[in-house]
């Protein structure tokens, strides 16, 4: 399958490699060209060039602003994609932008599928991502060979693309909630001189054995916040997007407000580029535990 792939960050680069390994014909584009040249596939000079002859164009970008520029900006993909070609957005973006993309591509007789993923860079490398897809079922089916090359399972959420985006935002909100609550629980037991490693071993071996608890509890106890698998700045972005989606449907999310404020506190104190598990460090600092194991 002829694929244009745009966005070669910590997630996008391993995803592109896995598509190439699976035998798909890739043309890639990245704003910083050097990140594309080591992949051993064709490198485009512009996003439009990556999309011009592609059957499917995948975007994996940091935020709404970056995606809007790539789709609608000068040399953007919307003006270059052929009628019938499919744009698959695998980024974590707002519900509103997903709705706009569906409308704009439909007017150009192009297709649009939302397919954000759950998983950190290590999961992307190991083809262990979970793909959450929504859109025209016929178009989603055409994309399935690509999803199979990227992840361990695909979940079809509905025929409106924004359904996948709200699922992704709600999931990231839940992960952030786990980090916040782990931070609070660990701060509590540390104040009573409980060994945090023993505490985490007990939790993750019993009632809280899910991967999300094991992954983030380990990062928090070891204070392994760099290099970031997912930066705190991006975590704040996702919580804000979840809150915007909630406000649009009059859904109160008071826990999200707490997480937003703690993320802002961390960023104000120079933690923007640390892993978002460092949210727990903000909680610990507020409990007077800075520098205290």
pLDDT 10s digits, 19-53: 999 999 999 999 999 999 999 999 999 999 999 99
Asked if residue 134 belongs to a domain, the reply is: yes
- Dump pLDDT digits (tens) for 74-109: 999 999 999 999 999 999 999 999 999 999 999 999
Residue 70 has pLDDT above 90, yes or no: yes
Question: Is 292 inside a domain boundary?
Answer: no
Residue 293 has pLDDT above 90, yes or no: no
pLDDT of residue 291: 55
Question: Does residue 155 sit in the same domain as residue 170?
Answer: no
Does 91 lie in the same domain as 190?
no
Chain segment 174-197, per-residue pLDDT in tens? 999 999 999 999 999 999 999 999
Q: Is the same domain home to 121 and 187?
A: no
Question: What phi and psi values does residue 154 have, to the nearest 5 degrees?
Answer: -115, 135
Residue 243: which CATH number? Answer: 1.10.1040.10
What pTM was estimated for this model as a whole?
0.95
Q: Which domain holds residue 263?
A: 166-286
Q: How many C-alpha atoms does 251 have within 13 Å on its Cβ side?
A: 12
Same domain (yes/no): 265, 148: no
CATH number at residue 99: 3.40.50.720
Looking at 130, 160, 190, the residue that finishes a domain is: 160
Examine the pLDDT at 262 and tell me if it is beyond 90: yes
Q: What is the pLDDT of residue 115?
A: 98
Whether residues 252 and 156 fall in one domain = no
- Determine the pLDDT at residue 6: 98
pLDDT, one tens digit per residue, over 122-175 is 999 999 999 999 999 999 999 999 999 999 999 999 999 999 999 999 999 999
One domain, residues 59 and 129: yes
174 shares a domain with 141? no
Residue 291 domain-assigned (yes or no): no
- Domain boundary residue among 160, 184, 209? 160
Number of domains in the chain: 2
21 in active site? no
203-260 pLDDT per residue, tens: 999 999 999 999 999 999 999 999 999 999 999 999 999 999 999 999 999 999 999 9
pLDDT of residue 48: 98
Same domain, 83 and 171: no
What does pLDDT average to over the chain?
97
Residues 171 and 239 occupy one common structural domain = yes
Question: Exactly one of 103, 168, 198, 222 is catalytic; which is it?
Answer: 168
> Do both 112 and 184 map to the same domain?
no
Specify if 254 maps to a domain: yes
Please say which residue of 97, 126, 160 terminates a domain.
Answer: 160
User: What pLDDT shows up at residue 272?
Assistant: 98
| 277 belongs to a structural domain | yes
Confidence of residue 290 (pLDDT cuts 50, 70, 90): confident
Instruction: Mention every residue, 6+ apart, whose C-beta is less than 8 A from residue 141.
Output: none
Residue 142 shares a structural domain with residue 254: no
In a domain, 244, yes or no: yes
Residues 45, 73 within the same domain = yes
Q: Is residue 65 situated within a structural domain?
A: yes
């Amino acid at each position: 399958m002829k694929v244009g792939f745009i966005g070669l960050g910590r997630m996008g680069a391993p995803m592109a490699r896995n598509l190439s390994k699976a035998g798909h014909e890739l043309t890639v584009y990245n704003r910083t060209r050097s990140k594309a040249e080591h992949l051993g596939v064709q490198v485009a000079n512009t996003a439009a060039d990556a999309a011009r002859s592609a059957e499917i164009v995948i975007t994996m970008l940091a935020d709404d602003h970056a995606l809007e520029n790539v789709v609608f900006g000068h040399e953007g993909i919307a003006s270059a994609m052929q009628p019938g070609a499919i744009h698959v957005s695998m980024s974590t973006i707002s519900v509103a932008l997903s709705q706009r993309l569906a409308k704009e591509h439909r007017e150009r007789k192009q297709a649009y599928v939302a397919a954000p993923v759950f998983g950190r860079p290590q999961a992307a490398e190991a083809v262990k991502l979970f793909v959450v897809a929504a859109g025209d079922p016929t178009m989603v089916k055409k994309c399935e060979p690509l999803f199979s090359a990227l992840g361990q399972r695909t979940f079809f959420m509905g025929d409106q693309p924004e359904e996948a985006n709200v699922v992704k935002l709600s999931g990231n909100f839940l992960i952030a909630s786990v980090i916040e609550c782990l931070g609070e629980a660990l701060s509590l037991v540390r104040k009573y001189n409980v060994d945090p490693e023993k505490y985490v071993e007990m939790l993750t071996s019993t009632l809280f054995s899910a991967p999300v608890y094991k992954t983030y509890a380990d990062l928090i106890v070891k204070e392994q916040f760099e290099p970031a698998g997912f930066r705190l700045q991006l975590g704040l972005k996702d919580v804000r997007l979840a809150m915007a989606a909630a406000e649009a449907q009059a859904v109160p999310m008071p826990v999200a407000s707490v997480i937003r404020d703690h993320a802002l506190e961390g960023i104000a104190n120079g933690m923007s580029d640390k892993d978002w598990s460092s949210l727990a460090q903000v909680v610990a600092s507020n409990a007077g535990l800075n520098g205290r194991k």
